[in-house]
Amino acid sequence: MGLKGLLMAGILSAAMSTLSSSINSLASSVAVDWYRNSISLVQSKWISLVWALVLISIALLFDESDSAIIIIGLQIASFTYGGLLGLFVLSKIQRHFRSSSVIIGLISSFLIVFYLKQIGIAWTWFILIATSINVFITLLIDYSHSFLSSRKR
């Protein structure tokens, strides 16, 4: 009985530390990238709360699943990996992109994964489709903005 309790406490503490570091990393990225050095402690706590709510809502999407835990973990990871891989691909292109184009591309890749989940596409396709959408939307918005600004001149 005592050994089971220790094992459960170890599993829960590992899960809480992983979740805590994930929320902290996401909030830190937003604070540093978007707000630079002009952010207060209260604002960073609000950003952490928003990211916690986003992660909770994603976890609730997978609540009714009867699959193995590793499959559920890979499904959850596929929500963000497509967008991140798209950002990596865009960083390898020798072009400077506008921040707004990159942000819209990233958000669209997240939204397409939610849509794919709702219509029942297999989760193994999420990363490929999200990466393609991220790169396509970012390039489309950036090129259209460049085209429109060159026509104004």
Per-residue pLDDT of 58-114, as tens digits, reads 777 766 667 776 777 777 788 888 888 988 998 888 888 888 888 899 899 999 998
pLDDT of residue 129: 94
Distance CA 72, CA 77 (A): 9
pLDDT of residue 70: 73
Which residue is it, tokens 């669209």? 108
Residue ranges of alpha helices (H) inside 36-68 are: 41-61
